[in-house]
Amino acid sequence: MGKKLLNYALGLNIALVVGLFFAAYFAHSFVIAASAVHQLVDTAGIAITIVALKLSVRPPTKRHSFGLVRAEVLAALTNSVLLGIITLAVLASSVIAMFSDLHPNGEIVSVTGLAGLGVNLLSLYLLSHRPDTPMSVKSTALHLLADSISWMVAVVTGVVVSLTHLSIFDPIGSVVVSLYVLVSTWKLITRTLNILLEASPENSISEEMSETLLANPYVSSVHHLHTWNLSSLERAVSAHVVLENISSLHQAELVVFELKELLRDQHDITHATLEVECHPCPSTEHETELGAWHIH
C-alpha cells in the first residue's frame, strides 16, 4: 500500500512543480522559483523512495550479494548535487534581482504559495495516515512537513509585496527559501557520503550494540565490531563474539541466532555477521580506537 500512496504523492508533486515554474515566469517571482526548486527536491526524494522500495525486494545475485540497495544512495547523491547547483543559481539570481526593476505579482505569489502548501499537506496525509506505512515512506512524509516552511515564506512574501508594493521582498523571500534548501541539501549529501564511506550510523551505536550482545549470559566479550549502512533502509554489522560455558557447536549456533534476533529487533540490523570465538583474538590488528568490550 505504501508504494501506491507514494505514486499518488509523486503525481501530485510533479504537477505542482510544472505549475510552479509557469507561475514563477508569469508572476516574475524569484520566491516562487526558489520554492519550485525546493519542491523539485521533495519530488525527487519521493521518486528515490519509490526506487528504493522496488530495489529492496529484488533478490541478491552472485554479482551483487547485497542486492542493488546502494542504487538509491547513488541516485540521492547525484540528485542532491545537481539540485544544490540549481539552488545556488537561483540564490545568485535573487541577489541580482534585489537591484533590478522587476515587479512581481504579489497576488499570484500568495495563491501559488497556498497551492504549494495544500499539495504538501495532502501528500503528507496520503503518506502517513495509515498505520502500516513503511518507515521510509513516513520519513518522506516528515520531510514534506518540514518543507512546508518554504511555502509559508512564499505566502507571507506575496502578502507583503501586495500590501507594500515593495518588490525587494520577493528576492529576499527567495534568498530565505534558497538558504533553507541548501541546508537541507547539504545534510542529504553528507548522509549519502557517510553511507558510501561505510561510516558508522551514529557515534554511540557500536557501544550500544556491544552492550546488547554482552547482555547474553554466554557472551564474555565483543571485539572487532563494525557497523555501517547499506542504504537508508538497511543496516549491517560484523563482530567477533567470545562465548563461554558452551558445550557444543549446536548450542553456539543457537546463541548466535538469538544474538542476531536481538540486533534486528533492538537496532534494526538487517545483515549481521558474527564470528564466534572461544577466546579473544591474540592480534591487536582487529581493534579499533574504541577497543574491545568485556563483561564486568
Per cent of the chain over pLDDT 90 is 3
Paired residues of 294 in beta bridges: 221
What are 102-124's pLDDT values in tens digits?
778 888 888 888 988 888 888 87
Q: Looking at the domain covering 2-196, what would its CATH class be?
A: mainly alpha
What would the mean pLDDT of 260-280 be, rounded to a whole number? Answer: 86
Record the cell numbers describing residue 39, joined without a space: 519542491
Angle at 18 between CA 17 and CA 20, to 5 degrees: 65
List C-alpha distances in Å: 205 to 12, 211, 229, 268.
Answer: 38, 10, 12, 11
pTM of the model: 0.66
CATH of region 205-294: 3.30.70.1350
What are 38-47's pLDDT values in tens digits?
788 778 878 8
Task: Decide whether 2-196 matches 205-294 in CATH topology.
Answer: no
Handedness of CA 179, 28, 147, 159 (dihedral sign): positive
Q: Name which residue leads in pLDDT, 117 or 289.
A: 117
Q: How many CB atoms lie within 10 A of CB 88?
A: 14
Q: Categorize the per-residue pLDDT at 295 as very low, low, confident or very high, splitting at 50, 70 and 90.
A: very low
What are 145-176's pLDDT values in tens digits?
666 777 888 888 889 888 888 888 888 888 88
Record the cell numbers describing residue 75, joined without a space: 541516485
Question: Can you tell me the distance from the alpha carbon of 179 to that of 175, in angstroms, rounded to the nearest whole number?
Answer: 6
Scored b (16 or more CB within 10 A) or e, 7-22 reads eebbebbeebbebbee
Does residue 210 contact residue 225 with C-beta atoms inside 8 Å? yes
Please report, for the chain, the start and end positions of each structural domain, with discontinuous segments joined by +.
2-196, 205-294
